[in-house]
């Protein structure tokens, strides 16, 4: 892969944020490793290369066929209504119940005894829930919400740890046609209040607390504080840790009382395909969170299809585990809706990967015989930092497909993942998508694609993605620019909740008729797509646009570096100067001056002198969102000696203090 943002055949404009041509940086970072799909997987794959052809010949026909994966009360006759772009309606005359599709129909098909959820609590408690039991639980919760006055079209906020009740709550809402708005269990009272207010939620479902890092961590106090500013009718409280809670009589209700006494009989009503299913606020990596609205039929079609295709799920034999939090879109589409609509058996783990020891994930893989693992680059880089010997202690031979999501995966992290977790045989699917896209859009198919470390490669069958230049022209192979989606897709966001204009402005105004994803990307000579990070993060150094992703990947390819975050800081001579924050691997010494020089030179030799960071700062932690993404804007504040901006969506806000106190003064 070449560095910089490629050559688009036009003179560069050199405006900050533009992703323009850059010949001096072209073809500097070469990634030539290739991995063919394992023969047996290819032979038995759920989806073959033919799907691309089929979808190309008749895209809407292809999606109409995928919609038949679901059980509809009224089959749709119209696939897409795009008469009022960018407001799409998919399968609009169809009617279905999403929860019925995720639960009841598997029981009716005779699979009630299949485990739906293997829950693993952080303290080591576990619970297996079959589809038949899940049906009872979801029915009870649906009856409870109805008793609390929740009706079709209402909104319910969910603020829970990673426990089965999170999934049950989401499905109970879906079952009665209410939209859920899940708020990360790590978010503050302020974030909860804003989300409750924006969505005008009627009920909040929370818990006393959850287990994190070996101890109970309270959740309800944040809800109580939020509710001093905004109001809801009822708060339903799951008892997880049995810690003390403050109680507001008349408003607060225990889940085990109210849900516990309900009947397990509940008849799911069919709703229109465009019935709102959920609102999810984006993680806020770049600014004020947006309430992304997803609806039912199209969303479930694509969540189900992509889960089947990208992970090659065989529901009778696979044990699937997605390590995401339910508060992130990955938890929505690839814990709740995709896997359950497909009748999967999956693991849900409550806690952190290093509790009580750094091998916890691998112990879980071994315990449940996990066959498909879906995690994030941030986790993979952390495991690299902890050392190869940790996963080596466990039997990971059950694994057959590995997935990655959330950020570009550095080629070295990809190789580490394949070798140390995947036994050098598992295909890796690097899946690009967003809260807004609802489901995976660009990814290898494990039985089809010859994979390339660091590339998400190709739009899935039925999806139209490409890379364009400033003038909205598609760049040729080898070119770089902006990632866009050129045709509507079933699980696309329908709007930003309550703000149609912001929906149009944010996604549909930059390039006429195309969805602007906000990510920089490049096409290689085979036409495969490489994601280069957010357009907002692109650095402009001496007139050259340089992607943060590529400098970070160059740093991670040095044996001493586990993780890197790179920002452009204002610089009088060069416009912006590259400042790199690095987390070192195992034994490397942060005080070693020669190591810093070595890292700078390493980047220079991999990417070219222009990409050589001006400063390299070893740090113990990086600021990350709860979903594990690096918050570069905060590092930019540090690098430019400014007061640090809004840290409310950080997983751990003390990290910024730590980084600032460790920092040497700017040279």
- Residue 588 CB, nearest approach to ligand ATP (Å): 26
Determine the distance from the C-alpha atom of residue 58 to the mean position of all C-alpha atoms in its chain, rounded to a whole number: 29
By CB under 6 A, tell whether 329 contacts ligand ATP. yes
Candidate list 519, 528, 552, 563; residue touching ligand ATP; CB under 6 A: 519
Compute the distance between CA of residue 47 and CA of residue 45 in angstroms, rounded to an integer.
5
Compute the distance between CA of residue 298 and CA of residue 91 in angstroms, rounded to an integer.
7
Nearer to ligand ATP, 340 or 529 (CB): 529
169 among annotated binding-site residues: no
Q: Do residues 256 and 460 lie in contact, with contact meaning Cβ atoms separated by under 8 Å?
A: no
Site for ligand ATP (CB under 6 A): how many residues? 25
Taking phi over 0 as left and psi of -120 to 50 as alpha, with beta for the rest, 194 belongs to alpha
Name which of 393, 361, 349 is nearest 123 in CA terms.
349
By CB under 6 A, tell whether 503 contacts ligand ATP. no
212 among annotated binding-site residues: yes
By CB under 6 A, tell whether 286 contacts ligand ATP. yes
Nearer to ligand ATP, 86 or 408 (CB): 408
Please count the other Cβ atoms lying within 10 Å of the Cβ belonging to residue 245.
Answer: 20
By CB under 6 A, tell whether 371 contacts ligand ATP. no
561 among annotated binding-site residues: yes
Nearer to ligand ATP, 144 or 456 (CB): 456
Taking phi over 0 as left and psi of -120 to 50 as alpha, with beta for the rest, 17 belongs to left
Nearer to ligand ATP, 224 or 524 (CB): 524
What 3 state SS string does 299-335 have?
HHHHHHHHHHHHCCCCCCCCCEEECCCCCCHHHHHHH
Compute the distance between CA of residue 157 and CA of residue 232 in angstroms, rounded to an integer.
10
Nearer to ligand ATP, 302 or 431 (CB): 431
556 among annotated binding-site residues: yes
Candidate list 435, 449, 457, 545; residue touching ligand ATP; CB under 6 A: 435
By CB under 6 A, tell whether 327 contacts ligand ATP. no
By CB under 6 A, tell whether 406 contacts ligand ATP. yes
Angstrom distances, CA of residue 257 to CA of 140, 497, 619, 658: 11, 33, 48, 44
One-character DSSP codes across 460-524: PTT--EEEE-TTSPBPPTT-EEEEEE-S--TT---EETT-HHHHHHHHSTTTTTSEEEEEEEEE-
Rounded-to-10 torsion of CA 492, 502, 624, 336 = -30
Q: Which stretch binds ligand ATP (CB under 6 A): 295-303, 403-411, 554-562, 590-598?
A: 403-411
Angstrom distances, CA of residue 282 to CA of 182, 276, 309, 435, 518: 11, 17, 25, 6, 13
Q: Which stretch binds ligand ATP (CB under 6 A): 217-225, 281-289, 457-465, 603-611?
A: 281-289
Name which of 440, 442, 54, 438 is nearest 64 in CA terms.
54
Nearer to ligand ATP, 184 or 211 (CB): 184
Compute the distance between CA of residue 397 and CA of residue 314 in angstroms, rounded to an integer.
17
264 among annotated binding-site residues: no
328 among annotated binding-site residues: no
- Residue 628 CB, nearest approach to ligand ATP (Å): 10
Nearer to ligand ATP, 405 or 538 (CB): 405
Q: And the tokens for 175?
A: 């079952």
Q: Which stretch binds ligand ATP (CB under 6 A): 139-147, 168-176, 418-426, 515-523?
A: 515-523
Compute the distance between CA of residue 512 and CA of residue 652 in angstroms, rounded to an integer.
39
Q: Helix (H, G, I), strand (E, B), or coil: what is residue 155? A: strand
By CB under 6 A, tell whether 105 contacts ligand ATP. no
Nearer to ligand ATP, 160 or 380 (CB): 380
Candidate list 66, 97, 207, 282; residue touching ligand ATP; CB under 6 A: 282
By CB under 6 A, tell whether 234 contacts ligand ATP. no
What sign has the CA pseudo-torsion 366, 367, 371, 374? negative
Query: 649 phi and psi, to 5 degrees?
Result: -95, 10
- Residue 174 CB, nearest approach to ligand ATP (Å): 21
By CB under 6 A, tell whether 284 contacts ligand ATP. yes
Nearer to ligand ATP, 373 or 517 (CB): 517
By CB under 6 A, tell whether 531 contacts ligand ATP. yes
Could you list the residues known to form a binding site, using ranges. 212-215, 330, 406-408, 430-435, 519, 534, 542, 556, 558, 561
Could you list the residues known to form a binding site for ATP, using ranges. 406-408, 430-435, 519, 534
- The residue ranges that bind ligand ATP (CB under 6 A) are 282-286, 289, 328-329, 405-408, 430-432, 434-435, 456, 517-519, 531, 534, 627, 629
Could you list the residues known to form a binding site for CoA, using ranges. 212-215, 330, 542
């Amino acid at each position: 892969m070449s560095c910089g943002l490629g050559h688009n055949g036009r003179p560069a404009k050199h405006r900050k944020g533009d992703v323009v041509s850059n010949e001096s940086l072209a073809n500097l970072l070469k990634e030539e490793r290739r991995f063919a799909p394992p023969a047996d997987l290819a032979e038995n794959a759920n989806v073959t290369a033919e799907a691309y052809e089929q979808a190309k010949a008749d895209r809407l026909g292809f999606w109409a066929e995928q919609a038949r994966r679901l059980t509809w009360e009224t089959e749709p006759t119209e696939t897409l209504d795009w008469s009022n772009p960018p407001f799409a309606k998919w399968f609009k005359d169809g009617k279905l119940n999403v929860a019925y599709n995720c639960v009841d129909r598997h029981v009716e098909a005779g699979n009630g005894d299949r485990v739906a959820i293997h829950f693993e609590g952080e303290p080591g408690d576990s619970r297996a829930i079959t589809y038949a039991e899940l049906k009872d639980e979801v029915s009870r919760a649906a009856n409870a919400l109805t008793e609390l006055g929740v009706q079709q079209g209402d909104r319910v906020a969910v603020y829970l740890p990673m426990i089965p009740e999170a999934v049950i709550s989401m499905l109970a809402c879906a079952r009665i046609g209410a939209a859920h708005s899940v708020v990360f269990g790590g978010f503050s009272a302020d974030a909860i209040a804003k989300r409750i207010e924006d969505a005008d939620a009627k009920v909040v479902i929370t818990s006393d607390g959850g287990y994190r890092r070996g101890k109970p961590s309270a959740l309800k106090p944040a809800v109580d504080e939020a509710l001093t500013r905004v109001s809801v009718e009822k708060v339903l409280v799951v008892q997880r840790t049995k810690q003390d809670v403050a109680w507001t009589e008349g408003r607060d209700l225990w889940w085990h009382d109210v849900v516990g006494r309900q009947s397990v009989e509940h008849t799911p009503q069919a709703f229109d395909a465009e019935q709102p299913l959920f609102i999810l606020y984006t993680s806020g990596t770049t600014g004020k969170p947006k309430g992304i609205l997803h609806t039912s039929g199209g969303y479930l079609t694509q969540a189900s299809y992509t889960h089947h295709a990208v992970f090659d799920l065989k529901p009778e034999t696979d044990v699937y585990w997605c390590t995401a939090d339910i508060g992130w879109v990955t938890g929505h589409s690839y814990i709740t809706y995709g896997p359950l609509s497909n009748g999967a058996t999956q693991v849900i783990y409550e806690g952190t990967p290093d509790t009580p020891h750094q091998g916890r994930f691998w112990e879980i893989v071994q315990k449940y015989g996990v066959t498909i693992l879906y995690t994030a680059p941030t986790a993979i880089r952390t495991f690299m930092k902890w050392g190869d010997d940790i996963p080596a202690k466990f039997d990971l031979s059950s694994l057959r497909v590995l997935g990655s999501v959330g950020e570009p995966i550095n080629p070295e992290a990809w190789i580490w993942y394949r070798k140390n977790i995947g036994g050098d045989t598992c295909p890796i699917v690097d899946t690009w998508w967003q809260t807004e896209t609802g489901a995976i859009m660009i990814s290898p198919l494990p039985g089809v694609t010859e994979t390339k470390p660091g590339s998400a490669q190709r739009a899935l069958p039925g999806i139209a993605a490409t890379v364009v230049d400033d003038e909205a022209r598609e760049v040729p192979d080898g070119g770089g620019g902006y990632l866009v989606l050129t045709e509507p897709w079933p699980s696309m966001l329908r709007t930003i909740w309550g703000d149609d204009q912001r929906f149009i402005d944010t996604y549909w105004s930059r390039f006429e008729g195309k969805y602007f994803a906000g990510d920089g990307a490049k096409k290689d000579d085979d036409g495969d797509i490489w994601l280069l990070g957010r357009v907002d993060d692109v650095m402009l150094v001496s007139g050259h646009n340089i992607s943060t992703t590529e400098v970070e990947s160059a740093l991670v390819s040095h044996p001493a570096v586990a993780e890197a975050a790179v920002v452009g800081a204002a610089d009088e001579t060069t416009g912006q100067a590259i400042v790199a924050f690095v987390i070192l691997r195992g034994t490397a010494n942060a005080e070693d001056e020669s190591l810093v020089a070595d890292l700078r030179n390493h980047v220079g030799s991999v990417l070219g002198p222009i990409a050589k960071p001006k400063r390299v700062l070893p740090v113990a932690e990086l600021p990350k969102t709860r979903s594990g993404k690096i918050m570069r804007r905060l590092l930019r504040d540090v690098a430019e000696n400014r007061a640090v901006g809004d840290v409310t969506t950080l997983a751990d806000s003390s990290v910024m203090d730590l980084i600032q106190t460790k920092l040497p003064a700017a040279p």
